Amino acid sequence: MTDRKVRVRFAPSPTGALHIGGVRTALYNYLYAKKHGGDLLLRIEDTDSNRFVPGAEDYIIESFRWLGIKFDEGVGIGGDHAPYRQSERREIYKKYVDQLLNDGHAYIAFDTPEELEAMRAATPNFQYDARTRNQGKNSLTLSKEEVEKRIAAGEKYVVRVKIEPNEDVEVDDMVRGKVVINSNVLDDKVLYKAADELPTYHLANIVDDHLMEISHVIRGEEWLPSAPLHVLLYRYLGWADTMPQFAHLPLLLKPEGNGKLSKRDGDRLGFPVFPLRWVDPKTGDVSTGYREEGYLPEAVVNFLALMGWNPGNDQEIFSLDQLVDAFSFEHVSKAGARFDYKKAMWFNHEYLINKSDADVAALFMPILAEKNIKCDVAAAEKIVSMVKGRLNFPKDLWEETSFFFERPTEYDEKSLKKRWKPESREILTNLMDILARIDDFTSKNMEDVVMKWIEANGYNTGTVMNSFRITIVGAAKGPHMFDVIEVLGKEETIDRVRIALEKIKD
């Protein structure tokens, strides 16, 4: 079994937007598969028609395309085990339902919702199991003829697994080690619903993992309670030898650390919990996504990888390929991972500032185009090079650079109060003359000329430069002044000083 090819799957149910925790699950599957030269499959688990949400499958596929997480097989790709959508695999499952029935590992049950309700009301903590199944209307309590008669009459039935009582079930988990559960706590879960002619999650999941030759089941901790049943199903189906190795990933916790991360935490604290924007087709509610908020896919991947895994040293920045190299389950934690959304922002900042000026300019051009601002790529590159260090998101670009494209219409009160001095007006009037006489209007040269002039006149450099900045930018902020005015050009620079001197009252 150890030389088995690594084949893992991400198996979402299309019940809405893909949660960021699901993205992390898929990422860990990807890292594990690639690390071991294996395959990653995308399987859509859509057997619960009540919970099916249109658009969810496309959303899932688009999310991973954006993130750069590639599947080797599955929905949208194809492969030897197609189809990969469970709703298209009905015939396949039927056979295994019959096998379990014939082998006595499952039975047919006719109990109506009302009857089940009555059983629940009569027995505290009722569950359908070895102790209570004799109270039900099922193929263990009814005669064979009666069962056949009911089915022939079209009565709706379900197939339940027959859990053998008082057996220790061992789940061998790569994160948690050996987890032992006594089968007495398990209930006879429904495996198949005749009304839908479809198996439930549990059976379809096991059958598909087996048929698709899945070697490792890597999924969220919320599935750990289902694992003992899954182990038993492998046994009942005669597949114990090729049962996949389990790994249940730690929960993503609220930023404060108490309880599971939810969409409400995102709304409350202002961060996305979905990779992409999602419009709920029923309610029309819109949720923002990492992509739409201006996160770079590499930053999201890097951030998520470290939510529950660590490299064993203090390296934080990892490309996807570096993550593949570094990843192992030894360093996946059992404890839940606090969702540090501020750290996500930090990663985005790091990835943005490490992009080339040309790449950041490419993010800037559409922002400028939307504002109907004409700016050639060379100028855009120069401008972004000056402000790159301050960006968390591409959308910050406008905030940081608008003064290059639009003259200030007002002058920040606070800056004026602090920086505008009684002598500012006279100094700037003289500065306009100095600038007018400079032919080589490059940053370096202007800096030389102006600094010498400041020194020769015994001015205070801070007063000169801060007052100058207010007239050009509108506030005491922005990159190196001489770089700014080189881009603006002589005429525009002098105009701005002149206009400011008209508008600003001493």
Instruction: State the minimum distance, in angstroms, from the CB of residue 14 to ligand GLU.
Output: 9
What residues between 133 and 162 interact with ligand GLU by CB under 6 A? none
Cβ neighbors of 409 (< 8 A, separation 6 or more) are 474
Compute the distance between CA of residue 358 and CA of residue 202 in angstroms, rounded to an integer.
50
Q: Which residue from 423, 436, 442, 454 is spatially nearest to 483, judged by alpha carbons? A: 442
Nearer to ligand GLU, 11 or 380 (CB): 11
The reply to whether 342 belongs to the active site is: no
Task: Give a three-class secondary structure readout of 345-389.
Answer: HHHHHHHHHCCCHHHHHHHHHHHHHHCCCCCCHHHHHHHHHHHHH
Nearer to ligand GLU, 221 or 483 (CB): 221
The type of residue at 467 is S
Instruction: State the minimum distance, in angstroms, from the CB of residue 47 to ligand GLU.
Output: 9
Contact with ligand GLU (CB under 6 A): which of 11, 431, 476, 500?
Answer: 11
Size of the site for ligand GLU (CB under 6 A): 9
The type of residue at 118 is A
Nearer to ligand GLU, 83 or 255 (CB): 83
Cβ neighbors of 452 (< 8 A, separation 6 or more) are none
Active-site residue, from 193, 260, 263, 421: 263
And the tokens for 62?
Answer: 């688009």
Nearer to ligand GLU, 93 or 403 (CB): 93
Considering the rule CB under 6 A, would residue 473 count as an interface residue with ligand GLU? no
Contacts of 97-105 with C-beta under 8 Å, sequence gap 24+, read 97/159, 97/191, 97/192, 97/199, 97/203, 99/237, 100/159, 100/161, 100/191, 100/236, 100/237, 101/159, 103/236, 104/162, 105/161, 105/162, 105/236, 105/237
Instruction: State the minimum distance, in angstroms, from the CB of residue 294 to ligand GLU.
Output: 28
And the tokens for 124?
Answer: 């505290």
> Is the bond into 83 cis (omega within 30 degrees of 0)?
yes
User: Site map for ligand GLU, 219-238, x if CB under 6 A?
Assistant: x---x---------------
What residues between 190 and 219 interact with ligand GLU by CB under 6 A? 201, 205, 217, 219
Instruction: State the minimum distance, in angstroms, from the CB of residue 336 to ligand GLU.
Output: 17
What residues between 385 and 404 interact with ligand GLU by CB under 6 A? none
Instruction: State the minimum distance, in angstroms, from the CB of residue 217 to ligand GLU.
Output: 6
Q: What values do phi and psi take at 191, rounded to 5?
A: -105, -20
Instruction: State the minimum distance, in angstroms, from the CB of residue 310 to ligand GLU.
Output: 23
What residues between 40 and 59 interact with ligand GLU by CB under 6 A? 45
The type of residue at 204 is A
Q: Which listed range, 6-14, 151-159, 162-170, 171-179, lies at the site for ligand GLU (CB under 6 A)? A: 6-14
Nearer to ligand GLU, 222 or 399 (CB): 222
Considering the rule CB under 6 A, would residue 74 count as an interface residue with ligand GLU? no
Compute the distance between CA of residue 382 and CA of residue 480 in angstroms, rounded to an integer.
12
Q: Which residues bind ligand GLU (CB under 6 A)?
A: 11-13, 45, 201, 205, 217, 219, 223
The residues carrying an active-site annotation are 263
